[in-house]
Structure formats: C-alpha cells, structure tokens
Structure 1
Amino acid sequence: MRVLIVDDEKLARDRLRELLNDIGGYTVVGEAMNGTEAVEKSSELNPDVLLMDIRMPGMDGLEAAMHLMGMENPPAVIFTTAYDQHALDAFDVNAVDYLLKPIRKDRLAKALSKAHKLTAKQIAEISQARPEPASRTHISVHLRGNIRLVPVPDILYFLADSKYVVVRTAAEEHLIEDSLVNLEKEFGDRFLRIHRNALVSTGSIKGIEKNPAGTWQISLKNYDKKLDVSRRHTAQVRRWARNRPMAG
C-alpha cells in the first residue's frame, strides 16, 4: 500500500514514517506540508492512502480531502488530529477514520487495515462541525483526470454559463460544475453579485461607470473586459461602491 504523509510538522511526519516502517507492508511515496501540496502530490504520485493532519497553514486537511474527491481514483484518507471531543464526535458520526495525536502504533495499524474512501457528504458535514469553519482557499478544476488548484484571491469573477460556471483569473479561465448560489453562500464576503449570472471579486474592482446606453458597468484591475451590472443589482452595487473607496 502506497502512503502519502501530510503534516506541517517535520517531527510528526518522521514519527508516522517510523511507525509505518515498524508495522511493515507500506511504502511511503512522499510527504507534503499542507493541503495544497497534498492535492498536487496525490495527482502526481497516486497514493492508496493519505495520513493527513487537519490543522495546517493555508489549505487544511478537510479542504484538501474535498478537492481530492474530484480525482478519477481518489485515495483513502485517514485524518490525524489534536481536535477536542466535540469535533471528534463529527468524525465518529460520519464513520471517518481518524487518529488522535499522539498516534499509537496499534491504532495506526488498525486504521490502515480498514482505510476506506471518503464521500463528499462526509467531508462537508465534518467541515461544518469543525472549530474554525472556513470557506475554501482554492477552487479545484478537473483537467483530463488531474486536479488544478486555483487560489481564490486570483479569481476576478464567477460567471454562470449553461450548467457550468466560468472561473476567470487575469491570465486564464476554467469551467467548474458548481452553482453561483453555492459560491455566493461560501464567498459572499469576498464577491459581489452584479448580475443573476455573475459574482465579482470585490478586491478586483477598479471602478463602476455608466456606458453610453445608460446602464452601469464594472471595470476590473488587470483585465480589459468590462462586466455589465443588471438593473436589478444596480442599487446594491452602487451602495457597495459608495461605502468602499475603490483603488485606481
């Protein structure tokens, strides 16, 4: 069984590697220090199972697991955690394998022997119960069986297009299967609804102006195309503009 160890602390990674050597029958194919590395290395190395810490800087283990669900053949995940009992109850209810730190050899061996693949529903329910609920740091894009992670701060806007949503950065665009309603719920503090089919990053807005036709448009930093503001959302957008000075 091929194992990827994911933890931001080197001592913890070394400890897991030693325990795996003692148990025998497992090959450590790599290590990662955060969730972003875990997703990238999983796509590259195709491990059978991840031993993954939950609390890590940047992308945490729960978000990484959610992105991994998009792989053609996702690995099993065993979480390692120092969470308190309230959070651990969520793992028990959802029948997800986890190891409480400090990790014991017999407990690790037992978890590995029954490691199973997670479902998106399990991860979503545990994410809601964790002590520090948070929105995703990245959006995952599926390209020919691989996962491409797009940092949320790089996204200029989300645009609904048929059954897909266009994710636009200054350099490129991708299609994801999601809904603007869900994205607005998750990122509503960072994105502004300007149209029934568009959410714009507030940090990317350069200005708002009227075009010759008398309707309002938004201009963005580092992007030439202007986006139309619908009549229905004009008042909300202008109110936002009045309350927040915009950079040039």
Structure 2
Amino acid sequence: MKILVCDDEALARDRLVRLLRDSDDCEIIGEAENGREALQKIELLAPDVVLLDIRMPVMDGIACAEELSRLPNPPAVIFITAFDEHALAAFQVEAVGYLLKPVRKDQLNEALARASRVNRAQLQHIREQSNDEAKPEARQHITARTHRGLELIPVSDIYYFLADQKYVTVRHLRGQVLVDETLKDLEAEFGDRFIRVHRNALLATHFLDGLESLAGGQYQVRFRGIPEKLVVSRRHLPQLREKMQSL
C-alpha cells in the first residue's frame, strides 16, 4: 500500500512516518505540507492512501479531498484532525478514517484497513457537523485534468465560468480549461466573488470593466484584460448594475 503523508507540521509528518515504518504492507512514497502540494504529488506518485491533515495553509484538507473526489480513480483518504472527541464522533462515516492527533498506531492500522474513497456526500456531512470555526473556506484553486496533467487554476485568476452542456469552461489569465462541475455549485461556493449574469454564466466581479448596450435593449459585459464580452440577461441585469455601483 503506497501512502502519501500530508501535514503542514514537520513533527506530525515525522510521527506518522515512524508509525508506518515497521509495517510490511505500507510504503511511504512522499510527503506534502499542504493540500495544493499534495494534489501535485498525487498526480505524480499515484498513492493508494493519503493521510491528510484538515487544518493547513494554502489549501486545507477538506478542499484537497474535494478535488480528489472528482478524479476518476482517487486515492483513499484518511483525515488527521485536531478536533475534540465529540466532533470526531460526528465525522465518523463508513469506510473513511478520521484520526485524532496525536495518532495512535492501532488506530492508524485500523483506519488503513478500512480506508476507501472520500465522496461528496461524506464531505458535506463533515461540513454540516463541524463548528463554525472548523468549517473550510471556499477553495482557492480550481482543479482541471488536461493533456498536461492536473492543473491548478487560482480562483483569483478566473474571469468567468461559462456552462456548455455537461461541462463548464473556466476562462482564466493563461487560457481556459473544462471542468466537470455545475454553475449552481460554483455559485454557492464563490458567490461572494462571482455574480451570475446569465443562466449559463458567472463572472468575477474584480475583472468587470463595464456594460455595453446592444440592439434590442440587451447588454453585454466587458472585462479588464481580455477582449471577450458576454451577454447579460434581462433577468440578471438589475443585480449586476447594483453590484457594479458598489465596486
């Protein structure tokens, strides 16, 4: 069983490595300090299991696991938490390990024996049961699989999300990628940074440059930095105007 250890604390990573070192069934193939680095190493190393801390800078464990859940063949995930036992008990869902720091060897072995994939329903359960302080913030990156491998697109670099049938185009500073997500989910997660201007489009408010009128009383929006313009529906025009006045 190939294992990747991800924790922002070197001492915590070292402890997990020591616990696993004597096991004949386990091979430590890499370490990471945050979720973003973990995603990159998972793409390269293809571990069977990821031991994943929840509270980390850059990208936390929940956000990392969400990205992994979208992969065709994600590794199993075992969360390593600093939550108290009451919160930990609320997180216990079948086939996924949640271990309390400091991790004990018998607990780790048991979790490895029953580890399996994290799915979106389980992640939602974590969010609903955790307290406000522990709830993760919106992702800082969008993950897309392209011919170059696993690409991480900073949300701050995204101009817009544009839905087209089952995929969403993500237009960003360096080009565009396709992701298998829905505008509804993206709007729910990033609604404070993006605004819906059409049933098939979410625009980043910090890239908005202005409105232009078209024939027939329609409008289109301009962006700073790119020539593309997108049509604004009549339904969403008042909300967009109100938003632009506050920028």
TM-score by length of 2: 0.90
Decide which of 185, 188, 194 is 1:185's aligned counterpart: 188
Give the aligned CA root-mean-square deviation in angstroms: 2.0
> Percent of aligned pairs with the same residue?
48
Aligned equivalent of 1:8 = 8
The answer on 1:137 being equivalent to 2:140 is yes
Letter in 2 for 1:43: E
Where does 1:95-134 land on structure 2 (aligned, <5 Å)?
A: 95-130=95-130, 131-134=134-137
Aligned equivalent of 2:48 = 48
Q: For residues 187 and 68 of structure 2, what CA distance do their matches in structure 1 show? A: 22
- Go from structure 1 to structure 2 and tell me whether the alpha carbon gap of 1:105 and 1:89 turns closer, same or farther (over 3 Å shift): closer
Q: For residues 155 and 86 of structure 2, what CA distance do their matches in structure 1 show? A: 30
Match of 2:128, SS state, is helix
TM-score by length of 1: 0.90
- Go from structure 1 to structure 2 and tell me whether the alpha carbon gap of 1:232 and 1:225 turns closer, same or farther (over 3 Å shift): same
Aligned equivalent of 1:87 = 87
- Go from structure 1 to structure 2 and tell me whether the alpha carbon gap of 1:194 and 1:138 turns closer, same or farther (over 3 Å shift): same
- Go from structure 1 to structure 2 and tell me whether the alpha carbon gap of 1:174 and 1:77 turns closer, same or farther (over 3 Å shift): same
Decide which of 170, 174, 184 is 2:173's aligned counterpart: 170
Q: For residues 151 and 93 of structure 1, what CA distance do their matches in structure 2 show? A: 31
Q: For residues 86 and 201 of structure 1, what CA distance do their matches in structure 2 show? A: 39
- 8 Å contact 2:95–2:114 — kept in the other structure? no
1:212 Cα offset (Å): 6.6
Q: For residues 127 and 29 of structure 1, what CA distance do their matches in structure 2 show? A: 30
Q: For residues 147 and 74 of structure 2, what CA distance do their matches in structure 1 show? A: 14
1:175 Cα offset (Å): 1.5
Runs of 4+ in 1 over 6 A off after TM superposition: none
Give the gaps of 5 or more residues in structure 2: none
Match of 1:118, SS state, is coil
Q: For residues 128 and 76 of structure 1, what CA distance do their matches in structure 2 show? A: 22
Aligned equivalent of 2:33 = 33
Match of 2:203, SS state, is strand
Q: For residues 145 and 129 of structure 1, what CA distance do their matches in structure 2 show? A: 37
Aligned equivalent of 1:226 = 229
Letter in 1 for 2:199: R
Match of 1:208, SS state, is strand
Q: Between 129-138 and 235-244, report the one with greater CA deviation.
A: 129-138
1:213 Cα offset (Å): 6.2
Aligned equivalent of 1:148 = 151
Q: For residues 58 and 13 of structure 1, what CA distance do their matches in structure 2 show? A: 17
Letter in 2 for 1:184: E
The answer on 1:237 being equivalent to 2:240 is yes
Q: For residues 158 and 86 of structure 1, what CA distance do their matches in structure 2 show? A: 39
Q: Between 174-183 and 38-47, report the one with greater CA deviation.
A: 174-183
- Go from structure 1 to structure 2 and tell me whether the alpha carbon gap of 1:95 and 1:88 turns closer, same or farther (over 3 Å shift): farther
Q: For residues 71 and 183 of structure 2, what CA distance do their matches in structure 1 show? A: 23
1:67 Cα offset (Å): 1.0
The answer on 1:158 being equivalent to 2:161 is yes
Match of 2:236, SS state, is helix
Q: For residues 64 and 149 of structure 1, what CA distance do their matches in structure 2 show? A: 11
- 8 Å contact 2:95–2:115 — kept in the other structure? no
Q: For residues 114 and 148 of structure 2, what CA distance do their matches in structure 1 show? A: 26
Give the gaps of 5 or more residues in structure 1: none
Aligned equivalent of 1:201 = 204
Letter in 1 for 2:62: L
Give the length in aligned residue pairs.
244
Letter in 2 for 1:123: L
- 8 Å contact 2:51–2:78 — kept in the other structure? yes
Q: For residues 156 and 24 of structure 2, what CA distance do their matches in structure 1 show? A: 43
